[in-house]
Chain A
């Protein structure tokens, strides 16, 4: 993902894989449910906009070949287990480059050599602790998130290092990356010695008296995100809710009694919160996600439906901003909607401009660029190096 972001920004990113392709090419799910090296959805998502070569770093000629390629790079991104780069004898190749190393726990420290996947680093970051129902096991996001966070921070570290004009190591820890995704929980512990934990659909940290507020509600065809809020926009939201309820029938007495100009959610007791929420629940249950979305947008209220992939693709805001990019993610596959570039630069969105590379697709072109002629490449191919 680190390379993907740099590639989106226009860098010439070359993916180096072992002959036959890297193992992640077989990570499910697959396009059309056909399991092969060109169809892994998570792999394609992370590797469009790149060129690709193969190189067997464990073969006798591999490191020398890789060295010629690496000599042309300003940034090298690697995610070997800590220490593996040195074992392969590759570390000295990068004296003049910025080397981004992404590992579960970092390059050194007591856990540096401990293996971990998304689940373990998320557990060790506190993020897992904060998600789930009380009394039930903590849960992780079903679309693994730590590779994205680690990759994004790797790209950020690389670009900061680039400004320094000094060759150096950027050491990304996935555990540390996942630790940055859940403030203010650490602030609550540090300043107030209040240990926040998972509370299902309830939001903590909005009260001065320890009350919690429901933030996910059942609606007619799914769920919506809505909360009793303070502040100018929160009070406006409450006032609009009361009006909306009146339009659709009846305003419950506890809601009608509120003076929204003076409403302060941070001082409500849990009983008061529960009473208000019980009065709101039937109203939200009567609305579809689409009705709720139209209503909150029209009234400038805080709140959104709980969206899914189909909702994102149908969202008028994203279409209006020309967000989606239809491209075939690999040769021979039908076009699919990719999220477009993550920001507009002078009104222009970085493009998804090339599909992900097939295994070794650019061996000829890229090795020629670094002075490996067709004869030598043929020899390397026969030796199984590429």
Chain B
């Protein structure tokens, strides 16, 4: 089927497309057929092709005042800066309620209990200066899974690097680091942490520092209680969460009117930096202030923390009744 001859007017659009190299094969055929007969359209095709070539040459030509190199250097600097400040975050609907987990390129920066799942906007993250917030769960999902395993009692270590850059002070950073070193299943007092960091009188300041712990669960401030054995406080008014986390780790609590306490008399006890754990009645331990003790709910926990049974009171032969 040979194409019907076209008029110059009809062929004009195809001719332009052919010059640009964008005509369909049948259109190219129509154009070829037409310019074989029509000298002026042939000349037009050549000229349009010249224009196309000129246009293409523009792409190869350098642009005026090309500062791309300097601009890129500047950009790379800004990106590095942005990356340093970038924090990815996601709210997870955990068994403890909605929690926001955020991490930087260095480690976890924030674990925050939210009152409602849609409350991410109310997060502390937004009050930290110079933070570039990126909503993304991929980077914290693995960590959230670890928290779930922990809550199910299947994991005793949360193995993620911490980024304490948002600690409010050097003091708080020291408190958080000392608290992070507390073994799973252990309980001690604010006074003990104060002694650990060489500020034995700063007990209230330690309690305040932990009240604003940016990394609850991960930095186990739930293992730190008042000197009287009272749980005292947790993440504002979430004492029930503290009790629950302690229960996961085998620490039982007792309810008194308006108070929740550990049962010191029913816990294995370690004095100062001793390498052995004892029955709470061993020697004069029961008269020691909590600031000198670390307590464990079970022998397994004490032994997992590297402690041996005391050779005097023999908690291995006379375990506390459950």
**A, B bound:** no
Chain A residues close to B by CB (< 8 Å)? none
